[in-house]
Amino acid sequence: MKRSTLLLRVASTIVAMPLVLLLVYLGGYYLLFGLVGFYLLGAHEWSRICEEGGSIPVSWLNFFGGLPILWVAFTGQMWLMWPAMALLLAVNLIIPPLIGLSGGTVGMDLFGQVYIALPLAYLFLLRAHGFNPTAEALILVWAADIGAYLVGSKFGRHKLSPRLSPGKTWEGAAGGILFAVIAGVALMPGMLDRSIWYGALVGLITGLLAVLGDLGESAIKRWANTKDSGSFMPGHGGLLDRIDSLLFALPLLYYLLR
């Protein structure tokens, strides 16, 4: 990676991480507006990916489709989640055929709305249990991403899945898992008053989920024949490129850290 690109990547990370932690710390409507912004940007990138893959997205439906999921999680009225999901499914099934689009569009749009909104909703749910478990979840995923990048770029030799992501290596995956385990061991006793062994276990699970999340988005981008989901974060690509690990890990981390 070029030095200029590396510096951009480091600078954008230094800015983004404290900003996200500040939103989590403030909670309430600050976090709501922040996550709605993340969702809208992610939905925009998802529509772009669909277009690159030959699907015809209903962009306005992607923008608004996942918002009921976020609102239900924000209010804490989880009994409304299934009705919200049912409404989301019904709207996605009804609108595209009315405007002459195919069933493939329905599937891709619906998948994208749930893929982005539902994990972000778990961030709301975790924040209801306090700042510390939410920050712990974020830091564990960030540690996995940083470890995978640092170890992979320095020592990566053996391709993890050449067909899905030629740049990913087994060494990078191992580095991500190792960094997540170290973060879990270092932070779990102080932040959540749990044992270092539990921290190591959660770190291990986080590292594995980060690898799966990364490969999952790589598979989507390979289908669309595109390198990045967007250009929102300098040095990283799009927002979805930056939070793919988080989207995979958050639902399970909610149950492990609450």
pLDDT in tens, the chain (258 residues): 545 555 666 666 777 889 999 999 999 999 999 999 999 999 999 998 988 888 888 888 888 999 999 999 999 888 899 999 998 888 888 887 777 766 566 788 889 999 999 999 999 999 999 999 999 999 999 999 999 988 988 898 888 887 777 778 999 999 999 999 999 999 999 999 999 999 999 999 999 999 999 998 888 888 888 877 766 665 556 888 888 899 999 999 999 999
- Which H or E run includes 161? strand 159-161
Provide the token pair at 230: 């967007």
Q: How far apart are CA 256 and CA 129, in angstroms?
A: 12
What pLDDT is attached to residue 9?
62
Q: How far apart are CA 197 and CA 193, in angstroms?
A: 12
Provide the token pair at 85: 């999901």
What pLDDT is attached to residue 219?
86
What pLDDT is attached to residue 211?
93
What pLDDT is attached to residue 196?
96
Matching residue, tokens 């539990």: 198
Are 39 and 256 contacting, i.e. CB atoms less than 8 angstroms apart? Answer: no
What pLDDT is attached to residue 142?
93
Buried b (16+ CB within 10 A) or exposed e, 128-152: eeeeebbbbbbbbbbbbbbbbbebb
Backbone angles phi, psi at 160, to 5 degrees: -75, -45
Backbone angles phi, psi at 166, to 5 degrees: -60, -25
Q: How far apart are CA 143 and CA 127, in angstroms?
A: 20
Q: How far apart are CA 44 and CA 39, in angstroms?
A: 9
Q: Dihedral through CA 229, CA 31, CA 108, CA 167, nearest 10?
A: 30
What pLDDT is attached to residue 129?
95
